[in-house]
Every structure is written in C-alpha cells, then in structure tokens.
Structure 1
Amino acid sequence: MSYPGPRVDAPLVVFDFDHTLYDGDSGSHLFKWLLDRAWWRQLLALLAAPVAGPMVAWLPTRRAGISVFVWIGTIGIHRRRDLDALIDRYIETHAQAIKARLLPLALDVLHKHREAGDRVVVATGAPPELARAILAFVAHEDVPVVGTLVGPKFGALGALRHCHHAMKMTMLREAGYTQPVAAAYSDSSADLPLLQAARKPVVVNPKAKRVAMFRRVLPAGTPILNWGCPGRGGDPAA
C-alpha cells in the first residue's frame, strides 16, 4: 500500500509496538525461539531464570535481566547482521502466527495517520530490525522504526542502548524526530515520558491494574482503549 509522503508541517505520531500494534512481546517471542534452537541454551536459561527473571519484572533492572537471556540466545553470534539473518528466518517460518498477533484495529489507526500525511514512527524496546521486518513482511508497512540497539557483548550479543522509558524519547530525538509529539500510542507505564510529552496521548491495551494510574497522571479525558488485546484493560474501541 502506498501513502502520500509526510507533509512539510506534518504532525509527529509515535506508536509503541508490543501490546500496541502487536499482541504480546515480540522480542520475548524471538529470543525464546533463539533459546529453543539448542538444548544447552534452554538449560542455561533455566539456570539463569531464578536471578534474571525477577530482574526483568522490575523496571530499574529490566534491561540487565533481558540482556541475560539475549546473551544466552546469541552465544556464538558476534555481528548484528547475523542476528538480522536469524530474525528474517524466524519471521519467514512463523509468518502466520505473527500475522495473527498483529492487531487489526491498531493497524487501521496507523493507516489513517499515514493516509493523512502524518509523520509516523514506531518506537519500541524490541530490536528495530524485528519490528521493521514484521511490519514489512507480514503487514506490508514500511514505517520507520526506532528501537533497542544490539551489538557484540562478551562473546554474544546484548542490548547496548535500550529504547525504553526516558531513553525512548532520547533515541527518537537522536533519530531526527525533534518536533513536538502530536500523538502517542502505548500500553506501557514505561512509556510515560512519551505519553506525557504528547499533545494527544492514547493508552491502548494497558494492564488492568495500571488503568487507575494512567487516569491519575495523564490529562483528563485521555482515551484508554482496548484494541482487541485479550486479557488487557481499556474501554472497547469502536
């Protein structure tokens, strides 16, 4: 599908990816597949889980916890392009399952912004190559993606800069998206810096226990919607 190029004065619209356009955590799905490639990777992950698992669940240590599993899944891989090749193989062999996880309502909203000539970008905690490949190969969208920078680390790959919380705003600015954010869509409390920077924040598919917090810290009347993500909170979207 072709879209008009963004207007010179086009508003900037930012979408999160996981639990926003995609039902689930795309990075976790990829790295589980990487771990499942060999029994010894699975064993190492099980041994690391009692320590790394709780770290993933706590925001201040999330990056370190995720990096442990990324490292185990990529032992022996030293170049980012080798990871890109594995991402392509993963998507090709899981295309139908991935397509089923893309949220039609979310893609409709993304389409409308692009048809209006808005400057649309996806900002995600996943590797940008993963979100970009899913959108291109499965959803036929060529939308720009800013995401976590992955590179060599101790004989494997690891997150060098995690596109997460305040760093997501920093990485967007560094990528050239310096204008004010007109609208932002995200499910996550970790994206509060992005949502609070947007003139029109929209919370989509939040955890039910986070809804009250979003209503407290975001402007009155902020939409809190469910775009068809089972088990998540938010008002049903038309």
Structure 2
Amino acid sequence: MAGKLKAPTGRYGGKSAQERQAERRRRFLDAGLQLFGDSPGYRATTVAALSEAAGLSTRQFYEEFRNLEDVLAALHLQVNDWAEEAALSALAEADGRPVDERTTAAFRAYAANVTGDPRRLRIAFVEIIGVSPRLERQRLARRSRWIDFICGEADAAADRGEAAPRDYRVAAAAFIGSVNGLLHDWSSGWVDATLDEVVDELVQLLLGVLRPVWWRVERT
C-alpha cells in the first residue's frame, strides 16, 4: 500500500525545510502589509496579486494560508505584538519612575510604533474593521488584552498610592475606544492636529483616568 507523502525535511540552499517555509510565510506577510496597508487595500487585493508581490506562486500561498483573511488576521496580531513590545520596553526603561512618567513613556512608545509605519496604522484601525465575525472576535480579544494591560499598570500604581484604588476595567475600555477612534480619524485626515497633539491629548486622558478629580481632592 502506498505510504502518505511527507513534506521534505532536507536542507536546500543552506536552509532547512522549516526555515524555507518560515521565509515564504514572511514574504507573504510583507506583501500583505504593503498591499493591505497601502494600496490597493485588503478588499481590493487578490491572492494572485499578493503572490506576485511576494515573488511566490499561488500554490505556495495555499500551502501557507487558507485565504487572504488569514493573512490579514496574522498581520493584525503582528502589528499589535510590535506595539505591545514597544510599550513593555518603555515601561521597563521607566521602572521606578512616577506613574505619570511611566504612563507617558509607555503610551508614547505604543503610538510611535503603531503610527511610525502608516501601513501598520491602517492594518490596526481601518482594514480590520467589518471584515468578518471571526476577525471581529479577534479584534475584540486583542482589545481585551490591551484593557488587561492598562488595568495591570493601574492596579500596580494604586498599590503604590499613585493612582485611585478602584476597578479600572470600564475606564480602560473607554480609553481604548478613544485611542482606536481618534487614531482612526487622524489617519483618515479627519482630525486637524499633529500626531504629537493627538498623543498628548490621549496621554492626558489616561492620566485623568488614573488620577480623577475626586481622588486628588480627597488627598489634599
């Protein structure tokens, strides 16, 4: 009886089969970042166009992904991972500093990362919207992760006496909604302000969440 075919495992061109597969996947994702995040956008891109941009075949595409939505899903997670790594790095560098300095450093690092490449901004705040129930679940799950991130920092600041002791989940969700909405509108050209002005406004909003007026009055 004929045996089941196995994927090649030998080395070719100095690279293993796993390394070649990872390289192909990266080339498809790089092409997706360009086409989805710039022109023509996710909805106007075809598998053939993406494969051509990656310098690979459509057959190779279907060996890595089921469809273009899989590429967009992977890019959305990658963009968020990059931004989270930037925020965590900034927090580590600001370790031991007051909460306002830590908050400012972390959010500025996040904003610089996600807006430093306009393609990332479009992936995170424009192209992901309204694609499918699956991607909407992914988007909300990632938003929930950002809410947990903020709540963790807020609770730690409250334990140090630097922020109001309270449940931050609703406030964090409201802040994340403000970030998503404002950065989306700014990237679309609807908000007449510089990125620094937008970031400053969002930082002040977050500091207001951590240090509301009622808490500052109680401490005086």
TM over 0.5: no
- Considering fraction of residues, name the structure with more helix: 2
TM-score after normalising by structure 1: 0.27
The answer to which structure has the higher strand fraction is: 1
Larger Rg belongs to = 2
